[in-house]
Copies of this chain bind each other. A is one copy, B any other.
Amino acid sequence: MGAFAVTRRNRVRRLPEKASYDELAVHAVLDAALFAHVGFVDAGQPVVIPMLHGRDDARLYLHGARKARIAKLVGSGAPVCVSTTLLDGIVAARSAFNSSMNYRSVVVFGTGRMLEDEGERLVALRVISEHVLPGRWAELRPPTARELAMTAVIEVGIESASAKIAEGPPQDEAEDYALPTWGGVVPVATTLGRAVDDGRLLAGVGLSQAVAALEGRRL
């Protein structure tokens, strides 16, 4: 694995010492996050919406309703920005200026392509499903022709990207350590709990193995 070239598009301006352009670092955050915020431009207006994603090597996959605005825009070669952030802590410094958050984030720049080939579309849908719920695809019936016709599947090549990891205690001004002010971190954890069935299981149906494997997982 290599690194992304640092260009005007992906260069991290703020706190550049926390930035990484390493492909492995970018992929690790994309894989840890269950969803992303996807940005596109609609008649000059920036639009950012949450979407599920999946990654296969240097490609991201997204899906949505075939009729959705984002499907038409992003699927037709428009530039797209996929950003995702995992919050790890609130950093309470001895000044407001140095107070911040601990987090893992990535910003990906790419170009969308609408997938039309049924084989490619099924691969991409499986990648998205397996990203959120590994092992679940094999437990489910295949998509129907009607479902596939209603679904837009978009490939976004990761052309450029950066990761940013903020961790550890506050970094206060030297003179502020003389203040009688508490400084430290409030950890933030996102965890998956015990699965709850919908009360409509057939007799004898136990908990899905794929779902059971997720219980207690921390993002």
B-binding residues in A (CB < 8 A): 9, 13-14, 34-35, 37-41, 44-50, 52, 64-65, 67-69, 79-83, 85, 87, 90, 92, 94-97, 99-101, 103, 105, 107, 109, 125, 129, 132-133, 136-137, 139-141, 143-144, 147, 150-151, 169-170, 172, 176-202, 204-208, 210-211, 214-215
Contacts and interface: CB of A to CB of B under 8 A. Distances in A.
Which of A101, A140, A199, A205 gathers most chain B CB within 10 Å?
A: A140
A13 B70 CA distance: 10
Contacts of A201: 182-183
A117 B28 CA distance: 42
B188 A192 contact: yes
Task: Give how many copies assemble into the complex.
Answer: 2
A89 B40 CA distance: 26
A47 B101 CA distance: 21
